Amino acid sequence: MATVLSADLTTIGTPALWAITVAALAVLLSVDFVLTRRPHEVRMREAVGWSLFYLALPVGFGVYLWQAFGTTVSVEFFTGYVVEKSLSVDNLFVFMLLLSAFAVPAVYAQRVLLYGIIGALVLRAIFIALGAAVLQSGTWAFLLFGGILILTAGKVMKDALAGHEQEVDISRMRSVRLLRRFMPVTDDYRGSRLVVREGGRRALTPLALAMVAVFVTDIVFAVDSVPAVYGVTEDPFLVFATNAFALLGLRALYFVLQGALAKLRHLNHGLAVILAFIGVKLVLHWAHGIWPVIPEIPTLLSLGVIIAVLVIVTITSLTANQRDDSPRP
């Protein structure tokens, strides 16, 4: 039985379901923490195995939702998951740039990623709660979320068409400069330690700076991803579940896609289209509440469009790479 949040906003998230979900999430993160406690370079076989495991989890959860709550809830979950997963791939690319910019040793990369994922989950939970509160205040929130996504899509597409390469300049990062102002930073890494004592005073290691940079980046991504999934479902529990499942497998997926991410040259074009599409969907949903003659975009159609866009940009990226790699006459 859905718990009513407002006249228009409902959720399947009963206290028991929330408790089970959060407990399962805590267990999975604990397992990840144990795995990263002994620093080691992640091999492809290990990364693929964990990636498949974290892919099977949302599939099983979606089947449970279908059996317990029906097709609509299940389709909303899978659509939101695909949206979040596609956006999380862009997260991974930025994480890759950050790890490279900070010259994080390969054996400590998974620890940085794990802390980044935990930080992202906490931030998403806060943004989801704020989003639910905003949605309860009136239908104007759909117009606000739609506008945010459309503006973001325009910026992403503009940068993609201009061919701007994503770069990370550590010296210009405000978070890094702020930390350096209050605490000294060692010149080299000290194992997996974040803080050491040097010259009689505490000092941060570059690993600590890398983790803070990843956390700050999470804030930027949360601003886009939470409104995007609210464009698929208004259920805060489903929004949280899609974010959690999309983020859980990021650590392993990073090592699987480490070489392939740079080859997805058209990914940002596709993400811009997806964000704009969901933004328009939200605006139409707002307009439908005022003028019922204005049609809404069904969730199942949204899922088809999102998958089609991802398939197209993958094919065009691979085709462009093949064309560039082929010998010229």
Q: What is the DSSP string of 105-118?
A: -HHHHHHHHHHHHH
What does the block give as tokens for 240?
Answer: 């949280």
pLDDT: which is higher, 272 or 76: 76
pLDDT at site 329: 54
Pairing of β 3-4 and β 10-11: antiparallel
Task: Please give the pLDDT value at position 67.
Answer: 92
282's torsion region: left (phi>0), alpha (psi -120 to 50) or beta? alpha
35: exposed, middle or buried (Cβ count in 10 Å: 0-12, 13-18, 19+): middle
What integer pLDDT is reported at residue 209 of this predicted model? 81
Task: Scan for tokens 């509440």, then name that residue.
Answer: 289
pLDDT > 70? residue 3: no
Q: In whole angstroms, what is the distance from residue 242 CA to residue 57 CA?
A: 11
Residue whose token pair is 């790699």: 325
The whole-chain average pLDDT of the chain stands at: 77
**φ, ψ (nearest 5 deg) of residue 201:** -140, 160
Query: Is residue 238 scored above 70 in pLDDT?
Result: yes
Alpha carbon distance 96, 284 (integer Å): 36
> What are the residue ranges spanned by the domains of the chain?
3-145+165-259
Contact 256, 157 (CB under 8 A): no
Identify the DSSP state of 135: H
Pairing of strands 10-11, 195-198: unpaired
